[in-house]
Structure 1
Amino acid sequence: MEPDLPPPLEGADTYVLDAESAMEMARLIRLDQMTTQGMGGHLAGLQPLPEGAQVLDIACGPGCWALDLAFLHPDMEVVGIDISRTMIAYANARAYSQGNNNVSFEVMDVTKPLDFADHSFDLVNGRLLSSFLRRDAWSLLLQECQRILRPGGILRITETDHGGITSSPAFDQLNTFLFRAMHTMGYGFAPNGVTLGITPMLERIFRQANYSHLQRQAHAVNFSRDAEAWTDFYRNTEIVFLQALPMLQKVDMASKEELDVLYHTMLSEMQQEAFCGMWYLLTVWGTTPV
């Protein structure tokens, strides 16, 4: 039986791709697993959380991180929120089928005030928020996270500036087009829009929002042709640009014909034995005032 979809939210969805697409959901499931592995685990780097910790995963997508965390730590209560009705319906169905009683999911727009009481959580986790969070919304989100965190609670954000650094000229060109387009739409902090430019800003944004005891940890995912992550990253890239090409054409990055040629050339270059690629991420976390 198909799970009932939650009611849609009012207002515009700022997610760059199609948040209700089954293809996008499949991509995010793969990307979530690859990101967690690249980070060294679900809570890598953090001090042990208190017994019975309350954890929130913002923009949780299909809920993989939250589901895994709840399974690995049955003493925790885990909540995931996302603007996508499709993603939340899938996540709740998985939680039900797996018998995970300590995890739940809700439709919620994290660019607006969150429907949680003050001091509700010990940890708020967010990953790759730049795909929907415009540059003028970052400080408001961190302030809202501080409201719902308990004194001494932890906010942890993981971001990337680029879709990957590779030996493929077509990959590099399409990523440049994508981030320039996003820059004109209000995303990222880079002055020229060639990258997102979020990782250099993270610690400053945390400090401005009055978080303390800041720490950071860098991660690298090798998706070269002979690397374990190549298959998942190839599929991720294939789906991202399949969805993004119409947007790039609309904002006049190139003609439809030019973009199609670049897209297929990129996929061909990524399949070559000599293809090399590395994806870099940065995690920053800090605590609220005690």
Structure 2
Amino acid sequence: MSEQPGEHPSTYMVQDRSNQQELERVHLQDQMITTAMGGVLPEQEDPTALRRILDVGCGTGDWSIEAARTLPTLERVVGVDISVHMLTFAREQAQQQGAERVEFASMDALRMLEFPNASFDLINQRFGQSWIRTWDWPKLLSEYQRVCRPGGIIRITEGDFTLESFSPALNRLNELCIQASFQAGYLFTPTTDGITSHLARVLTQHGLTQVQTHTWNLEFHAGTPAGQHLTEDVRRAYRTIMPFLRKWGSMPKDYEQLYHQALRELQEPGWTSPWTLVTAWGRNPGHTSAHLRFA
């Protein structure tokens, strides 16, 4: 495993943190999903009430930078991640785009978020299913509540673990990924919605109030920029995840054949692939107003 000096041990599926293909995949996926969802906080009634946001597992920093760019009322956006490699890229992006209100820090959210109590108005986490095991959720949500202001928002977005596909080969790869992920503890059930169907329950069970969900039924089509981005995401993902599949006993002998067949099928004209995302959010206990205005 390639690590930078001083980095924490990682639960991330791709253990090689200097893997350039994974960095490029995360960067591409981040932009693709924000665009497909219609922005950084499209389901929130009044994002202008927010002043301070924490983005946990920020990766290449795209969501954090976009939040600062599109929400001028924000005073501070902090992105934290365990990967120094990803954070270096995020800082370079922020500097190039003149995103002065964004800062990035190396931090292990599964251990401790190194901020004072009640530091943020909103905690954002997206695609944590790649590094959060089912037994990590109680402590993680407790830490989110500690650094979130009373009455503030804790917001989680996850996707069905694999997208629905017309491609038999890609469907087979998806099944392998689901089984390995369940064995490794990332899913509550060995199903494609092994995270998304549990989000509201988990947030409520661990103390959040006024929990709501919004489902995003995305579609990706052949011959479109989004469709090409999806193909690139699949191409990179099923390369970088190979050590993970081997570790958890889900690497079949015909993996290479399946991989190349899936990529060929994704080049065929006319295909459509739906993908379901779920955003769940709730209030940090301690405020009775249904609509919170931050000072």
Partner of 1:130: 129
* Counterparts of residues 52-63 of structure 1 (less than 5 Å): 53-63=51-61
Q: Tell me which residue corresponds to 1:286.
A: 282
The TM-score, its normalising length taken from structure 1, stands at 0.92
8 Å CA contact 1:241, 1:263 repeated in 2: yes
Write out per-residue CA displacement over residues 111-163 of structure 1, whole angstroms, 9 at most, x where no aligned residue.
11110110000001111100110010012111110111101100110011222
Cα distance in 2 for partners of 1:112, 1:118 equals 15
1:38-73 residue CA offsets vs partner (Å, 9 max, x unmatched): 222111111224656110000000000101111223
Q: How far off its partner does 1:166 sit?
A: 0.9
Aligned residues: 282
Is 1:273 the equivalent of 2:269? yes
Taking the aligned partners of 1:199 and 1:94, their CA distance within structure 2 comes to 30
Does 1:218 pair with 2:215?
Answer: yes
Choose the corresponding residue for 2:195, options 193, 198, 206: 198
Name the SS for the 2:217 alignment partner.
strand
Q: Distance in 2 between matches of 1:254 and 1:129?
A: 23
Matched to 2:114, the amino acid is D
Contact 2:118–2:148 at 8 Å: present in 1 too?
yes
Structure 1 residues 276 and 49, CA gap change in structure 2 (3 angstroms): closer
Which amino acid in the other structure matches residue 241 of structure 1? Y
> Which blocks of at least 5 consecutive residues in structure 1 are unaligned?
none
Task: After TM superposition, list the pairs within 5 Å mapping 1:70-219 onto structure 2.
Answer: 70-76=68-74, 77-190=76-189, 193-195=190-192, 197-219=194-216
Over the matched positions of the two proteins, sequence identity in percent amounts to 35
Shift of the 40–118 alpha-carbon distance from structure 1 to 2, 3 Å rule, reads same
Asked if the contact 1:183–1:196 (Cα under 8 Å) also holds between the matched residues in 2, the reply is no
Q: Distance in 2 between matches of 1:112 and 1:203?
A: 23
Q: 1:272 to 1:121 in 2, by over 3 A?
A: same
Q: Which amino acid aligns with 1:281?
A: L
Q: Equivalents in 2 of 1:263, 1:228: separation in Å? A: 22
Task: Give the match for residue 239 of structure 2.
Answer: 242
Q: Shift in Å at residue 221 of structure 1?
A: 2.2
Assess, with a 3 A threshold, how the Cα gap between structure 1 residues 136 and 120 changes in structure 2: closer, same or farther: same
Q: TM-score, normalised by structure 2?
A: 0.90
State the SS of the aligned residue for 1:165.
Answer: coil
Letter of the 2:183 counterpart: T
Could you tell me how far apart the structure 1 residues matched to 2:193 and 2:12 are? Answer: 15
RMSD over aligned CA atoms reads: 1.8
Deviations 1:241-282 (A, max 9, x none): 0112343244332444x0000000111111111432111100
Question: Aligned equivalents of 1:226 and 1:101: distance in 2?
Answer: 36
